[in-house]
Amino acid sequence: MSTHLTTVAGVPVDTRHFIGGERVASTETFTDVSPIDGSVLAEISRGTAMEAAAAVAAAKAAFPAWAATPRAERARLLHAIADGVERRLEELALVETTDNGALLRSHRRGVMPRVAHNFRFFANWLLELGHEDFTTRGHTNHVTWDPAGPCVLITPWNAPLMLATWKVAPALAAGDTVVLKPAEWSPLTASLLADIAAEAGLPAGVLNVVQGYGSEVGDPLTAHPDVRRISFTGSVPTARHISASAAANLTPLSLELGGKSPLLVFADADLDLAAGLAVEQYDNAGQVCLAATRILVEAPVAEEFTRRFTEKAAALRQGDPREETTDIGPTIHPRQLEKIDGFVRRALEAGARAVIGGHRGEGQYYVPTLLTDVRQDSEIVQEEVFGPVLTLQTFEDEDEAVRLANDTRFGLAATVATGDAERAARVTARLVAGTVWVNCFFVRDLKAPFGGSRHSGVGREGGTWSFDFYCDVKNTVTAPKGFKDHG
């Protein structure tokens, strides 16, 4: 077996970059560790400015032919990639669970099927993409979506392959070429995606994968003058750094950043439903940007809501994510565990009370936590923890509920639980958020716009919004006369 192959959960994974259709090794490596038990999974090629430049050059060289490829052929190849994902779904699920600690049952039933759906959706949307011609004083306006060029896509560790393909699929459908830089804490399924794309017949250089640290390979990618689009999902501080890096070239950015989303529970809500929605926020060990981590409950029902919540939370099973009965797995990395614990310790020292949890579990696990007696201006209410930690506050009326919900620098999502349709309409109209769910959570359609307000992001992707970002949208205006008759 090649020294550049590692075996994870019985699946061989190449640890090298994928550039211009070939595997490329770096002289240095970084260690990839499983959050489940701390075992070393692989030594991964550690990219530098040299690999970044080579990947962008490969993407640039492949762009003219890929941009000129007819839409139907691009769509066919995206469907072929989806076929490959479905054939290897079990392998992808096993590798990703081992690499990032998320539930194997979720990967099998939801996440990996969604990866395939990402490719199929944007392949199909591409074939339907268009705008009716319209006239201006007899002149015809014709709108087109032209491929923009090489794209750099930087993806997070909490849902590695699903969020990578949420970007890769529309970029490829748009006729762009791609350099994908996965998170260094969960790089393995991106490498498998490169194999799947090559097996599907995607031309060399159209999809490149470069691994490594942001400071070493991410910076030269985002600052490269030949890059035409940058899409990033991650933290606000990193987004600021990327924005500054891209500014010199005026490279357009799409940024999906952190959240501190509220769950508003009104007294007229189905409290059992609301408590279930709140407990659902512990999904993926709370490592979900959309999670409604601030629970706001109307005062008269706060005690009953808390009782129902704690009963449901007590039924959750934390443990090995590979087991079917596990509900909550480990945190991704010791540094993330320490960050979560630091937030909670400081909150408790400041006077917060732990209704449940409030401490680490064994190994790399943090016990699901609900904190109350927290101030609106406190760190635990204002800053993203990105772990299984929720806060509970009460409100007296609609105005106070909205004020508390909107009183952070974020605006990614919000959830409202109410039995009054008119109240739902009033409240959702006043909430600052890119997505609002009413009496539900995490229902997402790829046709819908997705993104955040305020410090939660810049821009929207999904459906035509994705093509608006990954393309140069052009309007061609043609006069009603002036052409010569060649008949």
Stretch 32-59: mean pLDDT, rounded? 97
pLDDT of residue 149: 98
Burial 349-369 (b: 16+ CB within 10 A, else e): eeebebbbbbebbeebbbbbb
Domain of 179: which CATH number?
3.40.605.10
Is 385 in the same domain as 400?
A: yes
Grade residue 484 by pLDDT with cuts at 50, 70 and 90. Answer: confident
Q: Alpha-carbon distance 353 to 370, whole Å?
A: 8
Residue 445 domain flag = no
**Residue 320 structural domain:** 262-438
Q: Which amino acid is present at 208? A: N
Stretch 153-177: mean pLDDT, rounded? 97
Is 204 in the same domain as 277?
A: no
Half-sphere exposure of 479 (CA within 13 A, CB side): 4
Stretch 23-41: mean pLDDT, rounded? 96
Q: Alpha-carbon distance 187 to 8, whole Å?
A: 12
Is 38 in the same domain as 52?
A: yes
199 is annotated as an active-site residue = no
Is 280 in the same domain as 131?
A: no
Compute φ and ψ for 16, nearest 5 degrees: -90, 165
pLDDT of residue 118: 98
pTM of the model: 0.95
pLDDT of residue 1: 47
pLDDT of residue 2: 65
Q: Alpha-carbon distance 52 to 64, whole Å?
A: 20
pLDDT score of 349 more than 90: yes
Residue 72 domain flag = yes
Is 147 in the same domain as 206?
A: yes
Stretch 473-478: mean pLDDT, rounded? 97
Residue 117 domain flag = yes
Q: One of 51, 91, 151, 289 is an active-site residue; which one?
A: 289
Q: Alpha-carbon distance 289 to 257, whole Å?
A: 8
Is 253 in the same domain as 273?
A: no
Is 253 in the same domain as 332?
A: no
Whose structure tokens read 């439903």? 273
Residue 281 domain flag = yes
Q: One of 256, 298, 384, 461 is an active-site residue; which one?
A: 256
Stretch 259-269: mean pLDDT, rounded? 97
Whose structure tokens read 């140069």? 472
Domain of 389: which CATH number?
3.40.309.10
User: Would you call 293 helix, strand, or coil by DSSP?
Assistant: coil
pLDDT of residue 485: 78
Residue 57 domain flag = yes
Stretch 206-218: mean pLDDT, rounded? 97
Higher-confidence residue of 324 and 482: namely 324
How many other C-beta atoms lie within 10 A of the C-beta of residue 325? 8
pLDDT of residue 3: 81
Q: What's the 3-state SS for 349-387?
A: HCCCEEEECCCECCCCCECCEEEECCCCCCHHHHCCCCC
Q: Alpha-carbon distance 130 to 333, whole Å?
A: 44
Q: Is residue 264 a contact partner of residue 296, using CB atoms and an 8 Å limit?
A: yes
Is 246 in the same domain as 283?
A: no
List all residues 6 or more positions away from 128 whose beta carbon is below 8 Å from its beta carbon: none
How many other C-beta atoms lie within 10 A of the C-beta of residue 144? 13
Q: Is residue 25 a contact partner of residue 4, using CB atoms and an 8 Å limit?
A: yes
Residue 480 domain flag = no
pLDDT of residue 244: 95
256 is annotated as an active-site residue = yes
pLDDT score of 487 more than 80: no
Whose structure tokens read 């599907």? 200
Number of domains in the chain: 2
Q: Which amino acid is present at 107? A: H
pLDDT score of 473 more than 90: yes
